[in-house]
Amino acid sequence: MSEAKQENTAQNVDRKKTTGVRRNRRGGRGRRGGGGGRPTAWSLSQFHVEPEAGKIRFHDFDLPDELMHSIADQGFKFCSPIQAQSLPYTLRGNDVVGKAQTGTGKTAAFLVTIIYDLLKHPVDHKRYAGEARALIIAPTRELVMQIADDARVLNKYTGLNVHTLVGGMDYDKQRRHLDETLCDILVATPGRLIDFCGSKDVYLDQVEVLVIDEADRMLDMGFIPQVRRIVRQTPRKDDRQTLFFSATFTPEVLGLVDQWTHDATVVEIEPEHVATDSVTQKIYITQTRRKRELLVNILRSEEVESVIVFANRRDQCRRLQEYLGKVGFSVGLLSGEVAQNKRVRTLDDFKSGKIKVLVATDVAGRGIHIDGISHVINFTLPEEPEDYVHRIGRTGRAGKTGTSISFACEDDAFLLEPIEQLLGEKLVCEQPPVELSSEHHEREAG
């Protein structure tokens, strides 16, 4: 039996007697700690970045070599605005509340903080399976998996263990993983985490860093009562570091900030452009009954290499995926009704190019960060303007350009005005090019 398993058995007998002294987050740095990194032959001298005016380098922080090695592997030289503004506070142990959209680099900001924190304060007594040192809560399974993937990349040389807990995947398998290796960083959706806490497979009373990501989305999805239960199981807010991120600061969000953070520094990052300059936006006026044939003709265009098709409801996505499969496309489905293990396989097939078309809802699409997506198609316009920005942000990434095509019909054209207000610009509506009409394709076939 592994040491972690043995300790897990012992903790179920009398765990509290041997957990050690809880450190005071605000009063000192005496801490339990974590697992120590693996030795490498790499040195910081191999990663040279010349200073540039107005830019903050990762070199400008006293980050451990194991972490800098991973940062070098990723080619990260300069901090994004949210990283540059938050890291000076978070690396000192301060709470931070960040207002930032997806794609601004906030994930790396809180992961760098967590890894720095755990490496700088190694464990000095026995630990137990299921005791998380850092906890990241995110609203969707896809986002949890993406954060965990990023965490594993940054932890390549540290020896820190990353665990995920999400619904829709094998419960016993997730529990076995927790038993087999100690838990340094735990990334979880609220519901599944509560299940594991209730079964005494996870303990949160030793959490040193708590991250609450996309708080506004968790409010929208009704997860806040669950998150409250989770936060109550962590140390008091002045005995832990809390990093809180939200794309919007509504009164409800600010109320949560007051409850869960201690003397937090607020960092607000407004995107330079709400809609990225690397994405060409097109709005095609069409009839509801003509949407499918227009979509098929677009997908058959030579310039369409890899595409995400967004619709607002699960049933719309399911019917669309079935239809596209029948007319000959390699197509996958991402929605809340699809089992998580199947969603993971679908994303892997999409990344590898085995699947050309991905049909997704907004909730499922939030955590998709894949370079090389050539097109995003809004089969239905989103009811929330912010979701339009998130959708088109799936393309035009990593220095490449992309195209967003939205269908505006008699049922949803009224949704354009709120989107334009958010973007601060007028969206030009046009008739689809003649080469995308069914009549044109019928003539070519004849």
pLDDT at 233 over 90: yes
pLDDT score for 443: 45
**Residues 296, 324 contacting (CB under 8 angstroms):** yes
pLDDT-above-90 percentage for the chain? 50
The CATH number for 279-445, chosen from 3.20.20.100, 3.40.50.300, 3.30.43.10, 3.30.70.270, is 3.40.50.300
Which of 178, 207, 208, 206 has its CA nearest to residue 192?
178
Q: What angle do CA 203, 207, 212 make, to 5 degrees?
A: 105
How is residue 192 written in tokens?
């599944």
pLDDT score for 238: 94
Residue 129: phi and psi, rounded to 5, are -60, 140
- Tracing tokens 């506070």 back to the chain, one arrives at 89
> Where would I find the H helices in 15-161?
65-73, 81-90, 106-120, 141-154
Q: Count the neighbouring beta carbons within 10 Å of the beta carbon of residue 91.
A: 16
Tens of pLDDT, residues 268-316: 886 555 556 778 999 999 988 899 999 999 999 888 889 999 999 999 9
Q: Enumerate long-range contacts of 416-422, CB under 8 Å, 24 or more apart.
A: 416/283, 416/381, 418/385, 419/381, 419/382, 419/385, 419/388, 421/385, 422/274, 422/385, 422/386, 422/388, 422/389
Residue 22: phi and psi, rounded to 5, are -70, 130
**Residues 57, 179 contacting (CB under 8 angstroms):** no
C-alpha pair distances (Å), 306 with each of 262, 278, 355? 45, 16, 8
Choice between 344 and 203, residue whose per-residue pLDDT is larger? 203
pLDDT at 160 over 70: yes
Segment (H or E) for 136: strand 134-137
| Per-residue pLDDT band at 22 (split at 50, 70, 90) | very low
Choice between 340 and 326, residue whose per-residue pLDDT is larger? 326
pLDDT at 13 over 60: no
**Residues 98, 245 contacting (CB under 8 angstroms):** yes
Q: What is the identity of the amino acid at 432?
A: P
| Per-residue pLDDT band at 372 (split at 50, 70, 90) | confident
Q: What is the identity of the amino acid at 293?
A: E
Task: Note the CATH number of domain 3-268.
Answer: 3.40.50.300
* Burial category of 377 from C-beta neighbours within 10 Å (exposed 0-12, middle 13-18, buried 19 and up): buried
Q: How far apart are CA 110 and CA 267, in angstroms?
A: 13
pLDDT score for 26: 39
pLDDT at 446 over 60: no
Q: What angle do CA 324, 327, 331 make, to 5 degrees?
A: 35
pLDDT-above-70 percentage for the chain? 85
Q: In what order do the strands lie in the sheet with 375-378?
A: 331-334, 357-360, 307-310, 375-378, 402-408, 279-285, 429-430
Tens of pLDDT, residues 401-431: 889 999 998 888 889 988 888 888 888 888 9
Choice between 135 and 46, residue whose per-residue pLDDT is larger? 135
pLDDT at 30 over 70: no
- CB contact set of 260 (below 8 Å; sequence gap of 6+): 210, 212, 231, 237, 242, 244
pLDDT at 40 over 70: no
| Per-residue pLDDT band at 140 (split at 50, 70, 90) | confident
What would the mean pLDDT of 105-128 be, rounded to a whole number? 92
Q: Which residues share a beta bridge with 211?
A: 136, 243
Q: Count the neighbouring beta carbons within 10 Å of the beta carbon of residue 295.
A: 24
What would the mean pLDDT of 426-444 be, rounded to a whole number? 71
pLDDT score for 216: 86
- CB contact set of 98 (below 8 Å; sequence gap of 6+): 82, 86, 106, 109, 243, 244, 245, 246, 266, 267, 268, 269
Tens of pLDDT, residues 206-222: 999 999 999 988 887 78
Q: How far apart are CA 326 and CA 31, in angstroms?
A: 59
The mean of the pLDDT values for the chain is: 84
pLDDT at 16 over 90: no
pLDDT at 34 over 60: no
How is residue 363 written in tokens?
């909730």
What would the mean pLDDT of 222-229 be, rounded to a whole number? 92
C-alpha pair distances (Å), 198 with each of 11, 18, 194, 208, 229? 15, 21, 6, 20, 11
**Residues 63, 71 contacting (CB under 8 angstroms):** yes
Which residue ranges make up each domain of the chain? 3-268, 279-445
pLDDT score for 11: 39
Cα dihedral sign for 273, 357, 284, 291? negative
pLDDT score for 366: 64
Which of 150, 308, 314, 137 has its CA nearest to residue 217?
137
- Tracing tokens 């009954």 back to the chain, one arrives at 289
Is-same-fold flag (3-268; 279-445)? yes
Tens of pLDDT, residues 47-95: 888 988 989 999 999 899 999 999 999 888 899 899 999 999 999 999 9
Q: What is the identity of the amino acid at 336?
A: G
- Tracing tokens 């490498």 back to the chain, one arrives at 40
- CB contact set of 130 (below 8 Å; sequence gap of 6+): 8, 11, 178, 179, 183, 196, 200, 201, 202, 203
How is residue 236 written in tokens?
């008091």
Q: Which residues share a beta bridge with 98?
A: 245, 267
How is residue 11 written in tokens?
């903790």
